[in-house]
Amino acid sequence: MTRPSEDAVVKAARREASLAFGMWAIALLYTVTYCYLNGYGRSAEDLTFVLWFPDWVFWGIIVPWLTCVVMSVVFAFGIMGDESLGEEADADPESPTLASPEVHDA
């Protein structure tokens, strides 16, 4: 007997979760590396500013933060799918979906 095909929501959710983790990893790598190299162990003499921010805060945190906002828009409206989440099952604690012998013993 052939297995039914995997649900489209599951496939899409896996792909989107992978992309989200990818964004998280890139943000971590860039921000922590940049800030550690440029914001630690410096003296105040060579400190410069962009707006209110010390240079390392602006380039290491503010710029990637704003980039993430743009990426979020792209992700939400360009990448994320719009699959149906499905119909509501019975919410009763003794409902067949949650506690039927078929489910427990299958």
Partner 1 sequence: MPDSGTAVGYGTLAMLVIVMAVSVWLGTQAQKAVERGGFMKGYFLGNRGLGAWALALTATVQSGGSFMGFPSYVYTYGWVVALWIASYMVVPITGFAVLGKRFAQLSRRTGAITIPDLFDARYGDERVGLLTSIFIMSFMTFLMIAQFKAGALVMQMAWPGNESLAVAQQPIVDGVDEQEAQAEAIRQREAHETRRRRAYLVGLAVFSATVVGYTLIGGFLASVWTDLFQSVLMVIGVMILFAAVVPLASQGGLEQPTLNAIEVTGPQYAFGPGLPKEGLPPFLLLGGAISFFFVWPIAGMGSPASMVRVMACKDNQTMRRSIVLLSVYNVFIYIPLIIICICGRALLPNVAVGDEIIPRLAVWSTRDWSGGSLVSGLILAAPFGAVMATVSTYLVVIASGVVRDIYQRMLRPQAGDLEIKRVTYVVMILFGLIGVVSNIQPVNFLQTLIVFSATATASTFVAPALMLAFWRRATAAGTTVAMLAGAGTILTLFIIGSVASGTAFQAYMLFGMEPIVWGLTVSGLAGVVVSLCTTPPPDELVSQLFDAPVQPAPSPG
Residues 67-96 that bind partner 1 (CB under 8 A): 68-69, 71-73, 75-77, 80-95
In the chain the first and final C-alpha atoms are separated, in Å, by 16
Considering only residues 28 to 47 of the shown chain, the ones binding partner 1 according to CB under 8 A are 28, 31-32, 35-36, 39-44, 47
Tell the smallest beta-carbon distance from residue 67 to partner 1 (Å). Answer: 8
Tell the smallest beta-carbon distance from residue 6 to partner 1 (Å). Answer: 6
How far is Cα 59 from Cα 48, in angstroms, rounded to an integer? 12
CA distances from 28 to 2, 6, 15, 24, 33 (A): 43, 32, 20, 6, 8
Tell the smallest beta-carbon distance from residue 68 to partner 1 (Å). Answer: 4
Q: Cα angle at 104 between 101 and 106, to 5 degrees?
A: 90
Total residues interacting with partner 1, rule: CB under 8 A = 76
Q: Is 59 in the site for partner 1 (CB under 8 A)?
A: no
